[in-house]
Chain A
Amino acid sequence: MGFGLYEWLVDGYEINLFGYRIPWPGIIPLVSDWKLIPEDQVGPIRSFILDSLEMTTILVFLIVNTILLILLERKVASGRAWTARGPVFIDLNWGHFFSWPFGKRTWKIGLLQNVAEFLKFFSKEDIVPEKADKFPFNIGFFAFVVAPPFILGALLPLGTISVIANPAVGFLLIFALFSLYPVGVLITGWSSNNKYSLLGGFRSAAQMISYEIPLMLSVTAVVLATNSFSLIDIAEQQTLTLGGLPFAILMPIGFIVFMASLAAETERIPFDIPEAEAELVMGWRTELTGFRYMMSMATEYFILLIGAFIGVFLFWGGAYLPFGFLKETIETIHLLAFLIITVKLWIFIFLYIWIRASLPRVRIDQLLDIGWKRLIPLAILNIIFVIIVIVNNPQLFGVI
């Protein structure tokens, strides 16, 4: 049972704007006098419309953000960091729309570049290698790589309480769906009958399986501190901690472990070994062409976005600002909460792009060393620290 993204809009509630209470009557109470729909059908129609809207919203939000995130990556990492400007040509001329204060001028930032490239990839021929094992090649890719991240959309809150589904297992479900990804990568790499793909698939599986452990351990500390699996509860608890500080500051080791493991899970530099361009052409993606390749790349960014969602909610306090600043207002003005989450997501992702622009990649054995010999002990240290704090001084984490 979720709280829904638009329940507040339909049912009405009290807005708290900087302490001033403004009632919002809600659409259904407003139009109920008009008797448009028979009384007994209001419930089903309402839930049908709301569900459709919610699902569309989260899907559009994720896809648009993925496209913009790729653009950001190209602007920052392969743009400014590489002494270039990134894509600039394929865009509307925004100078026509927003002339003030710049005056009428050509002002293109390449917003439509990725859309154009997606269209290009879709128009390409879909090539399945002749000697590939067709069934796993298709199933492994679409069922395990592409599909799972899309299911996750239902579990991601877009505000303080706005979420489609809020199951008791909470974000464990997200990680469970995450862990299907290496399986798909391995199957795709293996079945495409190419040595680069095979090596890339094996590396990918080894890497993700080893880094799921520190990832889960770093998350465990947060669960211990909050006694909840729900992203919403965890975010809310970060306003009750010492000074209303988020967990990124209260348990920095856990946050660093989380960041490093997430970089490995999403195959980004410094841990982008599975698709190491230098020695394994494109890693497990070598035989993917056209829209398959596009989907695989988009999925990678999609997963980064979802990882950023988890990071923002677990360590950055979700929609809440530090020090419990404007807590009531954020809780009641849902668009503001949504905006804060989006901004935090982009800052979180920007960190990864920055890292990508400045670090080399490590080798597979060094990567496993870092995972097993550094990150896991650090994560366990973090858990011990959290347990000690909870036993001695639970107020630090807001445990009452």
Chain B
Amino acid sequence: MYIHMGPQHPVNHGLWTLKVKTAGELVIDAEVLIGYIFRMIEKIAETRPYNAIQPLTDRLCYNSAMSWEACYTLAVEKLMDIEISRRAQYIRTIMLELQRIASHLTWLSAFTADVGVISMQVISFREREYVLDLLEHVTGSRMMYNYFTAGGLRRDLPQGFIEDCHSLTHYLDERIQEYKAILEDSKVFRLRSEQVGIISKDDALNLGATGPVLRASGVKADLRKIEPYLVYDELEFEVPVRTTGDCFARYEIRMEEMFQSLKIIRQALDQTPAEGEIFQKPPRKLPPGDVYFRTEDPRGEAAFYIVGNDERTPYRVKIKSPAYSNLAIINSILRGVKVADIAPTVASIDLCMGEIDR
């Protein structure tokens, strides 16, 4: 029997279709149809001045707008070969990690809802809202920030941000510990997530999985460690790795990453220099040449390939989306699971249709 799940179906967090071939309750094959919200972001980017593209990159992923801005901005800065001040770099790092926590909380909400813990869905959205409040305080916008720009940041940190952020990290630390305990002590939660949607290390590598999905399969790959950008090489944190490659491993990785992010934020808050240029004027035009820059998005390896042509508009912008790479493993992890496990398994790889279709 073929079951169409989508384009509007509770399994899909976003607009896409999953065609599943089942034998009774067992999934034999799965096919993914995407492209419902294609918005030509890459093409539009070729018609705009380079500093008017961050709003577009914000809209790549509604869950982690900041990390896409960062990826684009860092790529442009690398192309221009400009260095921003230490203070701006630290602030960027803090923002990125806050965004990572917000994104993972959204993921936790989606995943737990699909497993059936509807309370946790609401609760993690509540905690995410505190993070978004803080980001709104800094950037003036709740989700689409447009905060990073080539040459630095649009505005300085508001008064009292350091204290607010410190108290938020303590609050989140406590709360996420509690939720972790609630979920992991639950026998039913473990039944639903352990040994479900397994992908082996080889398969994950061959199919091009990135980010938490790859780390859950036993590959210690985190661009913040491998190719440190911003100030990640000065901060202490660990890269969580699991070897089982199932939904529970992916869940554990993301939970652990939230703690690591909190750790990074605390260090960065303490080390942020009080003085420093927030914004320095970048060159007016993109220099000729091309650049490929990758960062560690909450979903994995995000990259921008930008070709400059001595004009204000880039000649070509190519986006590499981690969620798109992870989409490739769906067939592999869905084959052999039960129909009831489709939802948590698909949710566990954290898809974001905005950046897949772009």
Residues of A within 8 A of B (CB): 77-78, 81-84, 195-196, 199, 269-270, 272-273, 276-281, 357-366
Contacts and interface: CB of A to CB of B under 8 A. Distances in A.
9 contacts: A195-B3, A270-B116, A270-B188, A276-B340, A277-B10, A278-B10, A357-B119, A360-B115, A362-B192
Interface residues of B, number: 31
Interface in B96-131: 112-119, 122-123, 126
A357 B10 CA distance: 20
Nearest to A270: B188
B343 interface: yes
A296 B5 CA distance: 24
Contact of B339 (A78, A199, A362): A199
Contacts of B316: none
Chain A CB within 10 Å, residue with most, of B5, B186, B189, B340? B340
Given A199-B25, A269-B118, A360-B117, 9 more contacts: A78-B118, A83-B126, A199-B339, A270-B188, A276-B340, A278-B10, A279-B10, A279-B340, A363-B341
The SS class assigned to the A binding surface is loop
Contact of A365 (B25, B117, B119): B25
Nearest to A196: B3
A196 B122 CA distance: 26
Nearest to B344: A278
Interface in B76-103: none
B155 interface: no
A359 B191 CA distance: 12
Contacts of A77: 119
Contacts of B114: 278
Q: Which 8 pairs between the two chains have the least Cβ-Cβ distance? A: A361-B116, A278-B343, A82-B122, A360-B116, A363-B340, A360-B115, A360-B117, A278-B114
A366 B191 contact: yes
Contacts of A269: 116, 118
B66 interface: no
A142 to B, nearest CB: 28
B105 to A, nearest CB: 14
B255 to A, nearest CB: 16
Interface of B: 1, 3, 5, 9-11, 25, 112-119, 122-123, 126, 182, 186, 188-189, 191-192, 338-344
Given A195-B1, A270-B116, A361-B116, A82 B123 contact: yes
A360 B123 contact: no
B188 A361 contact: yes
A81 B25 CA distance: 32
A358 B5 CA distance: 27
A278 B119 contact: no
Contact of B188 (A81, A84, A362): A362
Contacts of B122: 81-84
B191 A279 contact: no
A80 to B, nearest CB: 10
B126 A273 contact: no
Contacts of A82: 118-119, 122-123
A213 to B, nearest CB: 21
Nearest to B4: A195
Nearest to A272: B116
A270 B9 CA distance: 22
